[in-house]
Amino acid sequence: VSGLKVMLVDDEEEFVKTLAERLDIRGFKTWVALNGERALEILPESIPDVMVLDLKMPGIDGLEVLRRVKRRAPQVQVIILTGHGSEGDREAALRLGAFEHLQKPIDMATLIETIKRAHAGVSKESEQEGRSL
C-alpha cells in the first residue's frame, strides 16, 4: 500500500482525522476534506487513487460529490463510508459508480482490504467468483 493516495471526505472532523492518521501509519498517503465543496475544489490538483466518502454532509451531499467526481475523474475509485445507510442510498451510490458501500463504524482491516481491492479494481463479487473457479 506504500504511497497509495487516499482522500477522506467527511464532516466529522475528529473521526476523519483520526482515520487518516491510522492509514498514514500503515503507509497510505492521505488527505482530508471536511465537506463536499472542499473535496471537489482540491480534486484537480490532488487526484487520489481512492476516495473514502461520507454520504450525509452539510452542503453538497455525498451522492452529488460522487456524481461529480465520476464525471471529472472517472479513474478515482470511490468507497462510501456512512452511518446513514439506507438500502436506497446504497443502491443509488452503486448505480453512480461507487466501488463499495460500507457502514460506519468500520473495522480497519476491512477498510484497508476494501481500499486495496478498489485500487486494484477488483470487486468482492469478482474476487469470490475467481476463488470459486
Partner 1 sequence: VKDVDTREAAFIGRITAGITHEMKNVLAIIRESAGLMEDLLSMTGDTGFPHRERFVRAMGTIQAQVERGIDLSTRLNRLAHSPDAPLAVIDLNQTVSQMALLAERFARLRGVRLTAAPHPEAIRVSTSPVRVQMALLAGLESMWNSMAGGGGLTLCVSRIGAEAEVAIRCDEAPAEPEEFEKSVSAAPERKMLEEILADLGGKLRWDSSFCGHLLRFQEHVS
The residue from 95, 105, 113, 120 that contacts partner 1 (CB under 8 A) is: 105
Distances (CA, A) of 60 to 11, 112, 125: 11, 26, 30
Smallest distance, partner 1 to C-beta of residue 103, A: 8
Interaction pattern, residues 54-93, with partner 1; x per rule: CB under 8 A: --x--------------------------xx---------
Q: Report cis status (omega within 30 of 0) of the bond before 105.
A: yes
The residue from 18, 123, 126, 128 that contacts partner 1 (CB under 8 A) is: 18
The residue from 9, 19, 51, 65 that contacts partner 1 (CB under 8 A) is: 19
Main-chain phi, psi angles of 18, to 5 degrees: -70, -40
Give yes or no for residue 95 binding partner 1 (CB under 8 A).
Answer: no
Give yes or no for residue 97 binding partner 1 (CB under 8 A).
Answer: no
Burial class (CB in 10 A: 0-12, 13-18, 19+), 115: buried
Q: Residue 40 is placed in which grid cell?
A: 471537489
Distances (CA, A) of 4 to 45, 48, 50: 16, 8, 8
**Which residues are at the interface with partner 1 (CB under 8 A)?**
12, 14-15, 18-19, 21-22, 25, 56, 83-84, 104-106, 108
